[in-house]
Structure 1
Amino acid sequence: MSRIVNGRLRAATAQDCGDLVRLWGLLFGDVAATTNEPWRQHAAGWFTRLVDDADNARFPVIEVDGAIVATAIGTLELGVPNPYCAKGRTVRLMNVITLAEHRGHGFATTLVLDVLAWARSVAADRVDLSATPAALPLYAKLGFTMTSAPRMKLVL
Structure 2
Amino acid sequence: MIDVRQAVPEDARELIRLRKVMLDSMGDDPAPSGEWERTGVTILERQLSGRDGMLAAFVVDRPDGTGLAVCVVGAVDQRLPNPRDPTGLRGYVYNVATDAAYRRRGYSRACMNALIDWYATRGVSAVDLRASAEGEPLYAALGFRRTDEPAMRLHLPAP
- Secondary structure, counterpart of 1:24 in structure 2: helix
Give the deviation of 1:31 after TM superposition. 4.7
| Corresponding position of 1:13 | 8
Return the alpha-carbon distance in structure 2 between the equivalents of residues 81 and 117 of structure 1: 22
- Secondary structure, counterpart of 2:75 in structure 1: strand
Q: Which 4+ residue blocks in structure 1 deviate beyond 3 angstroms?
A: none
What does residue range 73-112 of structure 1 map to in structure 2 within 5 Å?
73-112=73-112
What does residue range 67-78 of structure 1 map to in structure 2 within 5 Å?
67-78=67-78
- The size of the alignment, in residue pairs, is 149
Alpha-carbon displacement from aligned partner over 1:39-74 (angstroms, at most 9, x marks no partner): 112211110111022731111110123431100011
* Higher relative strand content: 1
| Corresponding position of 2:56 | 58
Give the deviation of 1:150 after TM superposition. 2.8
Question: What runs of 5+ residues in structure 2 fail to find an aligned partner?
Answer: none
8 Å Cα contact 2:47-2:53 kept in structure 1: no
- Secondary structure, counterpart of 1:133 in structure 2: coil
Give the deviation of 1:9 after TM superposition. 1.2
Q: Structure 1 length as normaliser, TM-score?
A: 0.87
Return the alpha-carbon distance in structure 2 between the equivalents of residues 151 and 100 of structure 1: 31
| Corresponding position of 2:131 | 131
Q: Structure 2 length as normaliser, TM-score?
A: 0.86
1:155 aligns with 2:155: yes
- Secondary structure, counterpart of 2:118 in structure 1: helix
8 Å Cα contact 1:90-1:125 kept in structure 2: yes
Return the alpha-carbon distance in structure 1 between the equivalents of residues 146 and 83 of structure 2: 17
Match for residue 17 of structure 2 among 14, 22, 25: 22
8 Å Cα contact 2:73-2:96 kept in structure 1: yes
| Corresponding position of 1:113 | 113
Amino acid at match of 1:56: M
- Secondary structure, counterpart of 2:76 in structure 1: strand
> Percent of aligned pairs with the same residue?
28
Amino acid at match of 2:71: T
